[in-house]
Every structure is written in C-alpha cells, then in structure tokens.
Amino acid sequence: MGGKERAVTIEGLNALVESGGIDEYIRVCEARQVKALSKIADDITSRPGVRLALLAGASSAGKTTTAKRLCTQLRVDDREAMLLSTDDYFVGNSRNPRDENGEFDYECVECVDMPRLAADLNALMRGEAVHMRRFDFVAHEGFDEETTTSLPAGGIVVLEGIHALNPILTEHVADDCKYRLFIEPKTQLTVFANTRLQPADGRLLRRLVRDNQFRKMSPIDTFNIWPKVLAGERKWIDPFRPFADAEFDSGLEYELSVLKNYVGGLLEMVKIKMPDEMRARSLATMLSAILPADPSKVPGDSILRETIGGSLLDY
C-alpha cells in the first residue's frame, strides 16, 4: 500500500505562492496524507488478529506525528489505540553500547531495553496495568511513570521508532499480531528537468530545523553527525523495509516553501564554517530559488509541525 509519488517544480511552487493558491494547495497536500493514513488504518482493522502496529522510518521522516495520527484513524475505525515510542525504552548512557571509537552508539538496536519493552507490550495486550517507561533526554536515563496505564480490550498498540521493524526488537511478541508500516518522505520537489530532491536531503533539511528549534544543536553539529545517521539507517532500518505490510509517504509537496523561512540561515552558517560541504551549498542554492510561504498556514496536526513547532499534538 501507499500513495503514488508526486512531484512539483520550483516554478510551480513559486507560482502558487505568488498567486495566493498556496493556501489551498497546503490543504490538499495534507488531505492526501489523511486519506492515505485512513486506508492504512482500515487495512489494520480488517485483520482481526492485529494488536501491535510497528511504525519505522529514518531520522526526520515524521514517525511520531504519523503514529499519533494513525492512532486517531484507528479510533475512527472504533479501535482504541495506544502510542509507545522505542525512544522511551533507551537503556541510558550507563548501559548504552559504544562504537569502535569509544563513543556512544545511539543508532544500534542494543540501545533499546528489549526485554523490558517486550514485557510491557505483552502485558498491555493481555489487558494488564503497566507503569509506562519514559526517557529523560537531559539526564540520558529512563524512568517509570508513577501511575499505571492499561489497554482496553481489543485495543492496538502503535510502536514507533527507527528499530520498530527489526524482528529482534519484538521477537517475544507473537508474529501474527503484528502489522508493519514503513514511512518515508518520498514526494519531493523537482529541482531540474528530471532531477528531484532526494528523500535523504529532504530529511536533512527537516532535521536541521528541528535540531536547532528543539535540541539547541547547531547546524554544524547536525551536518557532522549526518553521515553517521545515514550509516546507521543503512544498517538498522533499510534491511527490514521489504517486510513492511504498507508504506506511507510522509513528504509534503509544499514543505520547502515553509522550511525556507527557517533553514536558509542555518545553511549559510554551514557554508561559512564548512566551506567544503558541497551538500550545504547545493541545498542553499536550491532554496534561494524558492519563495517562502506563511508557516501559519500549516495545519496544527501536520507532520511539518514536528519540525517547525506549533503542533496541536502533544510530544
């Protein structure tokens, strides 16, 4: 499953901004995603045995927002849904593996407390009350909520994270109760005649903004860690993509006109500090040709809000 890939040109996007048609175009793009998620929710609920929806995608693909919106669509189908994130099950720095250079390896599956996650998932699907796990990203350690949470009878757990499709993560959960979903921003802008922005570059732009907005990370640091992020994706995510029951296109045809308001200056900083970084120069050149759109027109539950802020959803 999954929608057909679409593309819009820089000229077409700019024409929409200039004419004022961008507002309606934003609404149409967002409606397409809602429709696609609705179809996926229908597919999940058509399979009576499914109790666990596994949602994986690479960095800045929009996993968290997609998972939250999928929960809503499942409720439309009269199935209660609960969202869990593998991030909340990180083992923390005291137990986190290190790479060959002695640095913390935050990309490997061993970062996740798999026995604890499996125990909680099975308990929830049995209807038992669980002290939900949470993670403190400042202290880099996990903790349990004081109150307990339970899943209503017949409810579905939606588990999101980069390792969600890795079978080792949920090997202690019955396979016939799982539904696997992979998300990626496949729909990207056509830059030149037959050349589109690559999904990884689209995700990098999102991550630059998100890191700067919410993690106080400089764009230099984001660019420095990006090769390691991509290497981790090739090792820990890509091998399991073929086993997904469905794919969801989290790309928004209009998003670069909105990101232009946030990312232009960040790329300029990278160009100054990292003059040999050709990707930054290429992306900056492309963005210089795009007219900015008003961020206030982005719906409050949009995937893009996960990047630029102002979401109506709780994170």
For residue 249, give Cα distances in angstroms to 32, 288, 298.
Answer: 10, 26, 18
User: pTM of the predicted model, to two decimals?
Assistant: 0.92
Q: Which two tokens stand for residue 153?
A: 């009878």
Return phi, psi of residue 184, to 5°: -160, 140
Q: Which tens digit of pLDDT belongs to each residue from 258-296?
A: 999 999 999 999 999 999 999 999 999 999 999 999 999
* 8 A C-beta contact, residue 295 and residue 258: yes
Ranges of each domain in the chain: 10-308
Give the residue among 136, 86, 138, 108 at the shortest CA–CA distance from 229: 108
Strand ranges across the sheet with 52-57: 81-85, 156-160, 52-57, 178-184, 246-249
- How confident is the model at residue 194, as a pLDDT? 61
For residue 264, give Cα distances in angstroms to 45, 85, 211, 282, 288.
Answer: 43, 31, 14, 12, 8
Q: What is the CATH number of domain 10-308?
A: 3.40.50.300
Residue 314 has pLDDT above 90, yes or no: no
Q: Which tens digit of pLDDT belongs to each residue from 145-203?
A: 999 999 999 999 999 999 999 999 999 888 999 999 999 998 777 776 666 788 999 99
Return phi, psi of residue 221, to 5°: -65, -40
